Amino acid sequence: MVAFGIASFALFIVLQFKSVRKSISLCCSTKNTANNAPPPLPADLPICPSVEEEKKRVHKEKTGKCALVINDLTKTFGGYTAVNELCLAVDRRECFGLLGVNGAGKTTTFNILTGQSFATSGEATIGGRDVTELVAIGYCPQYDALLPDMTGRETLEILAQMHGFDHYKEKVELVLKCVGMEGNANKRIRYCSGGQKRKISVGVALLSPTQLIILDEPTAGVDPQARREIWELLLWCRENSKSAIVLTSHSMDECEALCSRIAVLNKGQVIAIGTSQDLKSLYGNNYTMILTLNNDEQREDIVKRVAEKIPKSVFKTAETNRTLNLKWQTKPNEPLTNT
């Protein structure tokens, strides 16, 4: 028993050294994935000029006062590049969105920022300190990391006390109210629904008095009303707190509602960066037309007439979908016929 205790203590001390943790992490990621990792995929979408501008801003170190600076961050698993020379800076009090499809590299980036894994190359700093120094941040992980036998209220109260808040109970009640969990605050986490756990995780992240709060898909799995409430809460934080917020999402709507700037991630690379308006001008090259019918009997006639009037429009409502809202997509400047 004594020997086990001494060995554990020695291991604990050894793991405090960054170089040791880094070697173990890199060794494990290479070993686990060397045999079954797919080859790196070439980027298949053009990279917009704003990405190069952001790179220059980061490289020329014009980012001294930024909350987060990511400089040529790369993460490979065996031969697979999950994050490819990521370069961006998030200003203080900015709400920044990382938008990307499944497997784009969002969570891998967050794992590096939170010290759960090490970058293969490049660096990231939070408030000027390297992330490998385990800088304190508010973090809502993609998969809720909550203790199942505690209630939501207990979870938040313990964290609030660890953060050293004077009136921690009041703070916790406020957070519970903001995330809409007052009614379920005394339920054990193991009995909470997926959406309820998500709300507690968002609360945990927002409770942290840190200069950076990162949220990995904060609204995944929550119902539309709760989603709106979380959006309102994040907007309130954006306006009133001193923290910068970085969130990931699959939804342009979400990023547009919350973020002052958005980076689009594709196969580990940033392919565009800017405001939602910048991105819409870049990629929004389709118009959508929605017509609402009075009754289903008009459907065939309307579909026929639209096809005659805008021949190149694409009818997007499935034949089996008997909705009264019919949707078409068309390119800008599509010629209309005179029929």
Ligand X SMILES: Nc1ncnc2c1ncn2[C@@H]1O[C@H](COP(=O)(O)OP(=O)(O)OP(=O)(O)O)[C@@H](O)[C@H]1O
Rounded least distance, CB 217 to Mg ion, Å:
6
Residue 108 interacting entry, from Mg ion, ligand X, none, C-beta within 5 to 8 Å by type = ligand X
Size of the site for ligand X (CB under 6 A): 16
When the beta carbons of 106 and 198 are compared against Mg ion, the nearer one is 106
What residue 283 binds from Mg ion, ligand X, none (CB within 5 to 8 A, per partner kind)?
A: none
Residue 251 sits in the site that holds Mg ion (CB under 5 A): no
Q: How far apart are the C-alpha atoms of 77 and 156, rounded to whole Å?
A: 35
Interaction residues for Mg ion, span 118-157 (CB under 5 A):
142
Provide the minimum distance between the beta carbon of 216 and Mg ion in the complex, in angstroms, as a whole number.
6
If the CB atoms of residues 50 and 107 are measured against ligand X, the closer one turns out to be: 107
Interface residue with ligand X, options 30, 33, 74, 330 (CB under 6 A): 33
The phi and psi torsions of 129 (rounded to 5 degrees) equal: -105, 135
User: Cβ 143 to Mg ion, closest distance in Å?
Assistant: 9
Nearer to ligand X, 159 or 263 (CB): 263
Tell me the number of residues near Mg ion by CB under 5 A: 3
Choose from ligand X, Mg ion, none: what does 102 bind? Cβ within 5-8 Å by kind: ligand X
Under rule CB under 6 A, which residues in 55-114 are in contact with ligand X?
77, 80, 82, 100, 102-108
CA distance 208 to 5: 33
67, 94 in Cβ contact below 8 A? Answer: yes
Residue 172 binds which entry of Mg ion, ligand X, none, CB below 5-8 Å type-dependent: none
The site partner of 96 among ligand X, Mg ion, none (C-beta below 5 to 8 Å per kind) is none
Q: Choose between 80 and 287: whose C-beta lies nearer to Mg ion.
A: 80
Helices 224-240 and 168-178 meet at what angle, rounded to 10? 130
Stretch that binds ligand X, among 25-33, 63-71, 131-139, 295-303 (CB under 6 A): 25-33
Selection from Mg ion, ligand X, none that 215 binds (CB < 5 to 8 A by kind) is none
Interface with ligand X in residues 125-144 (CB under 6 A): 142
Terminal Cα distance for the chain, rounded: 90
> Which tokens in the block code for residue 45?
């979408």
Binding to Mg ion, residues 219-238 (CB under 5 A): none
- Is 196 or 269 the residue whose CB approaches ligand X more closely? 269
Cα dihedral sign, 187-189-192-195: positive
Which of 29, 107, 109, 243 is in the footprint of Mg ion by CB under 5 A? Answer: 107
The CA distance from 264 to 44, in Å, is 13
Binding partner at 82 among Mg ion, ligand X, none, C-beta below 5 to 8 Å by kind:
ligand X
How far is the C-alpha of 151 from the C-alpha of 182, rounded, in Å? 12
Closer by beta carbon to ligand X, 117 or else 155: 117
Q: How far is the CB of 85 from ligand X (least distance, A)?
A: 15
CB neighbours of 263 closer than 8 A, spacing ≥ 6? 88, 96, 97, 98, 99, 270, 272, 273
Residues that bind ligand X (CB under 6 A): 29, 32-33, 37, 77, 80, 82, 100, 102-108, 142
Residues that bind Mg ion (CB under 5 A): 106-107, 142
